[in-house]
Structure 1
Amino acid sequence: MTDDQNVDLINRAKTDFLAREKLFHQYRPQIKYIASNICKRPLDWDTDDELSISLIAFNSAIDTYDESKGMKFINYAKMLIHHGLVDYFRKEARFQYASLDTLTEDETVNMFEVKHAYKNYQETKASESQKEMVEDFNQILSKFDITLSDLVDVSPKHIDTRNTLTKIAQTLVADPVLFSSLLQSRRLPIKELILLTGTSRKVIENGRKYIIAVALILGKEEFSGIKHFIRFPKQEGGVGRWQKFKAWYSR
């Protein structure tokens, strides 16, 4: 059924609940596609408020659509969905910018406000995501009796030492059995690491906290975003980077 053939159904849906339900069912995939395209990410009916906002806008489109204006219903619905999402994102500081090619020539948007809302969303979302990630990292560190302050204190000042400890952590992560043992027992498998790396017990014991922290970052996917803060193993300034990381988290 084409959009033009739907005009009678749309008109009936203004007062007929069953006709309205039929429209919702018929356009449901398009509503999801339009909203996902605007948000620039896949959306799920069960978890994403953006789709609820889109349904409300679609419902409003049914009530206010006027075929005499010469605009196709789906384009009119898209316009209302877009404006509804922009208002929602602006209020919630959660706007993801939609490019202009999602709009029809009949639509107008204050692009300065949209870009400003998008910038706020990106900054807020990134900060919230990073904070959550570091809070989770901090929690798992605590299970090993390690704090971010400890990492600042124990981070090697010399790049050779830092590289040695990082390679030990990489060796630990590369062995699924040893890494699993670390997570379960919360103890560094020192004997095994001595055999695998040829590093002295003293070096490994002194670098215990640093090795564990790096291993967690390298071995657990949810902490991969921390890598850009530390930039190990080959760059200078390891101590300073942990200090900046701790200072950022404490803001």
Structure 2
Amino acid sequence: MLLVLWRKWTGRGSAAAVPEPEALNPEETVEAIQQGREELRNDLIKQYRPFIVTTASRFSKRYIDPDRDDEFSVALLAFDEAITRYSNEGGSRFIGFAAQVMNRRLIDYARKEQRHLTAVPYSSLQGESDEEGSVLSKIEAKEALTVYSREQIAQDRRDEIRTITEELSEYGISFFELTEQSPKHQDSRESLLEIGIRLAKRESLLALLKDKKKLPLKELGQLENVSRKTLERHRKYLITVALIAAGAYPLLQQYITGADAGSEEGRL
């Protein structure tokens, strides 16, 4: 269930430095840019330049010089990409979304840089000491990248959980309530999961849910042929499943479908 994910992946840790909130809301600024106010794009990039540097530096485990290091250019282009691609319909915040895009592009860049190390002949490790150290350092860097990728996925999960926590608060739902709300029997859980997923796919019902911040009991009951009492009893669980399925939560969505979710937890 989702509470288990919360306890497993939400840890105490410092987040990437983000500029202090200002009068200009980043989500509103991005929306304005997407609607044609391109003059705001450079202003937003300039405002969040320290955040871009910090994100690239955290990924690289060293300070990234914007004037010399390619990683800054990769992160900068990714931030610009995030401005174009961002949508707040899933409830995600722009900064969290931008950080994910930057980290994924940095991973792609690092993988390309390390690709030639996929096959290193053993003899190449037996040269001069300096050369040996250089090659071994590259291999260690490649292994570190694999570890980092796993750590980044865990961080992305934590970010998604924080975001869904904020979104659920608008519906009066907390993670600590989901323990009691989770169906006890496997058959019931599977059935309600499917109902929640179908709710997310029905645009009219999803719009009602987001507009009124309430489960559309009557309409959903008629479509699913399920009693109002059953839906009401599992209201918070269904809302949580629907918001995850409809939102920008690719990692948490794995725990709805059961795909690649890991052997420990399975589905919600």
* Residue from 112, 116, 137 that aligns with 1:100: 116
**Is 1:229 aligned to 2:255, yes or no?**
yes
- Give the direction of change, closer, same or farther, for the CA distance of 1:56–1:167 in structure 2 (3 Å limit): closer
Aligned counterpart, 2:244: 217
In structure 2, how many angstroms separate the alpha carbons of the residues matched to 1:218 and 1:161?
Answer: 18
In structure 1, how many angstroms separate the alpha carbons of the residues matched to 2:117 and 2:66?
Answer: 18
In structure 1, how many angstroms separate the alpha carbons of the residues matched to 2:238 and 2:202?
Answer: 14
For structure 2, the 5+ residue unaligned runs are: 1-44, 57-63, 71-102, 119-123, 125-130
1:127 shift after superposition:
2.1
How many percent of aligned residue pairs carry the same amino acid? 28
| Aligned alpha-carbon RMSD (Å) | 3.9
* Residue from 56, 59, 68 that aligns with 1:56: 68
Residue pairs, 1:58-207, within 5 angstroms: 96-97=110-111, 98-100=114-116, 108-109=134-135, 110-207=137-234
Q: Structure with the greater relative contact order (CA < 8 A, sep ≥ 6): 1 or 2?
A: 2
Aligned counterpart, 1:33: none
Larger Rg: 1
One-letter identity of the residue aligned with 1:160: D
Greater than 6 Å deviation, 4+ residue runs: 44-47
In structure 2, how many angstroms separate the alpha carbons of the residues matched to 1:57 and 1:231?
Answer: 40
Total equivalences in the alignment: 157
Residue pairs, 1:20-31, within 5 angstroms: none
- How far does the alpha carbon of each residue in 1:53-111 deviate from its partner, in whole angstroms, 9 at most, with x for none? 585269xxxxxxxxxxxxxxxxxxxxxxxxxxxxxx9xxx9x93421279xx9x95423
- Give the direction of change, closer, same or farther, for the CA distance of 1:137–1:119 in structure 2 (3 Å limit): same
Would the aligned equivalents of 1:96 and 1:122 in 2 still touch at CA under 8 Å? Answer: no
Secondary structure of the residue that 1:99 maps to in structure 2? helix
Q: Which has the higher helix share?
A: 1
One-letter identity of the residue aligned with 2:252: I
One-letter identity of the residue aligned with 1:113: E
- How far does the alpha carbon of each residue in 1:10-51 deviate from its partner, in whole angstroms, 9 at most, with x for none? xxxxxxxxxxxxxxxxxxxxxxxxxxxxxxxxxx9997656x
What is the TM-score when the length of structure 1 is the normalising length?
A: 0.51
Would the aligned equivalents of 2:168 and 2:174 in 1 still touch at CA under 8 Å? Answer: yes
What is the TM-score when the length of structure 2 is the normalising length?
A: 0.48
- Give the direction of change, closer, same or farther, for the CA distance of 1:150–1:162 in structure 2 (3 Å limit): same
- Give the direction of change, closer, same or farther, for the CA distance of 1:164–1:123 in structure 2 (3 Å limit): closer
In structure 2, how many angstroms separate the alpha carbons of the residues matched to 1:114 and 1:240?
Answer: 32
In structure 2, how many angstroms separate the alpha carbons of the residues matched to 1:197 and 1:190?
Answer: 10
For structure 1, the 5+ residue unaligned runs are: 1-43, 59-88, 243-251
